[in-house]
Amino acid sequence: MKKLKALLLTEGMHGMISQVEGLAKALNSEYSHKIVKLSFPWNLIPPKFTPISQIVLKDKIYITENETPDVIISCGRKSVIPSIFLKKKNSQIFTIHIQDPKVNSKNFDMVIAPQHDSHYHGSNVIHSEGAIHYITYEEIQAAKNYLSSKIKSNKIASIILGGPNKYYSFSKGQIKEIFESIKMCFIMNGYETIIVPSMRTPKTIIELAKKEMGKFGHVVDKVDKQAYLSAYALAKYVVVTCDSISMISEAAASGKPIYVAQMKHKKDIYRFKKFFELFEHLGIIKTFVPASPDKPWTYKQHNEAVRIANELKNKIKK
């Protein structure tokens, strides 16, 4: 069977890119990626009230006969309309939307909705346990030596930092409390730390990490995917801040014990709570508290992209 050609549509945010690329890779497809931008006022209007037309797009999406994809994988509200439009232009394209599209699932061939958004149902809906992503266990292991020269001990706790969003302020005070808890739980028990920022981590927080934690291990001071992967490979424990379902889902590909460092939230976090409950039930995460680390726990490396891709392959063939 020839390789699938996939067109990926997102708003350009890292979490969305990780999801569409993760599924495209798991489908073993050749893919290209287009960033979707909607014109005013359509960027403010829900998809169900938006016309199925190129008129809503800032940059039109044209596909020549030679470029026609076998599959379109979209993620995020703004990518809903162009995916539906391109399907109407060519019914042979298999369309997959990741996350709740806020329209009827029948507008797509398949919808991948997170289980923690379990209100979204349909005969063509697959529920994922956590977020789909592009991190694999094999990539993590291949990057193991990348940071090995930066540390001295084989007792490593890797700390993955997110950043502020509409649910969490991610203030310096809250992060300092987390660092103090890490000192109590890990540093006092002979561990070194590797601290890795994400694309959303403010520079002020990276500087705080250097000041508070620099002498206890290594602080990565920029976004570096190889460092991110290496930190997982070297860790005996992983601590991830609570602000990103995608980051926690990515961490689960490592198979390492994961603590989630909780922070005060600014608004209702119902979806987060459902996700935390699910991953606790699966034996993947525990809530981080300032005490000696629990005995390491194990679980099967968690990668929903592979499981879901296997479900989709036969449907795409048909």
Residues 241 and 272 in one domain: yes
Centre a 10 Å sphere on the Cβ of residue 59 and count the other Cβ atoms it contains: 13
CATH number, position 168:
3.40.50.2000
Residues 263 and 154 in one domain: yes
Residues 11 and 118 in one domain: yes
Say what the pLDDT of residue 3 is. 87
3-state secondary structure of 90: coil
In a domain, 74, yes or no: yes
CA–CA separation, 165 vs 243, rounded Å?
Answer: 7
In a domain, 127, yes or no: yes
Residues 256 and 123 in one domain: no
Q: Residue 233: which domain range?
A: 137-287
Q: What tokens does 310 get?
A: 């296997």
Say what the pLDDT of residue 70 is. 95
Name residue 95's beta-bridge partners.
72
In a domain, 296, yes or no: no
CA–CA separation, 55 vs 37, rounded Å?
Answer: 11
- What is the number of structural domains in the chain? 2
**DSSP, res 2:** P
Say what the pLDDT of residue 1 is. 55
| pLDDT tens, residue order, the chain (318 aa) | 578 999 999 999 888 999 999 999 999 999 999 999 999 999 999 999 999 999 999 998 888 777 899 999 999 999 999 999 999 999 999 999 999 999 999 999 999 999 887 678 889 999 999 999 999 999 999 999 999 999 999 999 999 999 999 999 999 999 999 999 999 999 999 999 999 999 999 999 999 999 999 999 999 999 999 999 999 999 999 999 999 999 999 999 999 999 999 999 999 999 999 999 999 999 999 999 988 889 999 998 899 999 999 999 988 887
Ramachandran bin of 217, using left for φ above 0, alpha for ψ from -120 to 50, beta for the remaining angles: left
CATH number, position 45:
3.40.50
Residues 118 and 164 in one domain: no
Residues 122 and 148 in one domain: no
